[in-house]
A = this chain, B = another copy of it.
């Protein structure tokens, strides 16, 4: 649910994953207790009780957290390392830095900026980048820097290089808010942070361009949107969130697109929030999402 950063002082989030084995939950909770933390919430999942993967998210409160992080990390490493488990410890009062890439469509972008202004997204937004200029004024009205990086012609390498200059080292993840440009493998390798996309269909239906037109042609009765991590295969990355809306024969492809915009902005917002709150753990080409959504 809504996360106001000010309420998160001294809250830590520990993500653990790796091979399942007896006693992990106990080891983690003992670790937190002996470091004077108090568990606020705990989610845990094993994908196969017999030799499967183990995934855990624990939020705990610990007075003077920021000072204690080094010793906490040392204890986590000493405890979980021998078990072959990966882990990540974050101070929840430190927001992630998110860059948004947009194109001409404003609905996903503005929804993110507005939710951020309401204090519902635990991120900072150091920049919005677009290959068009029409959203510049809206973005700057939110007090957020806007950069125009044109992307014309088939060769996107100049544009990608310019984007890399802007984001490299400055952001913790990227969001493609209907960016409408295919990201190269080289860019993904270079940028080396998670990239979240919103695709305007219910994947794996209607992969690629013009999904609303394809949906109209197929005569579907629901349209959808999918938010996923970007990988090197188009529209095939791990899915974070999906949703649908009911449509009928009377709606044109443009009508589907207009209705779909409301699904897209909701789905992307939830995916971004869950990523920012460390609720999403990648598991191969799938995701484990410890959602707050009832």
Contacts and interface: CB of A to CB of B under 8 A. Distances in A.
Nearest to A21: B38
Interface string A258-293: 110010001000000000000000010111110111
Nearest to A271: B221
A168 interface: no
Interface in A30-64: 30, 32-33, 36, 38-47, 49, 61
Contact of A2 (B61, B220, B255): B255
Interface stretch (A86-94, A151-159, A234-242): A234-242
Interface residues on A, range: 35 or more
B25 A39 contact: yes
A120 B258 contact: yes
Contacts of A114: 110
A254 to B, nearest CB: 7
A247 B2 contact: no
Contact of A285 (B23, B203, B205, B219): B219
Contacts of A218: 203-204, 239, 285-286
Interface string A231-258: 0000000111111101111110011001
A32 B39 contact: no
A82 interface: no
Nearest to A48: B252
Contacts of A141: 141
A219 B202 contact: no
Contacts of A38: 22-23, 49
B255 A243 contact: no
Contact of A39 (B44, B246, B250, B289): B44
B39 A41 contact: no
A26 B39 contact: yes
24 contacts: A1-B255, A22-B36, A22-B38, A23-B38, A26-B26, A26-B30, A26-B33, A45-B249, A45-B250, A110-B114, A202-B224, A204-B206, A204-B218, A205-B205, A218-B285, A219-B286, A219-B287, A220-B239, A221-B241, A221-B242, A221-B294, A249-B289, A250-B292, A291-B294
Give the 7 A-B residue pairs with the shortest CB-CB distance, closest first.
A219-B286, A248-B294, A2-B258, A26-B33, A26-B29, A205-B205, A22-B38
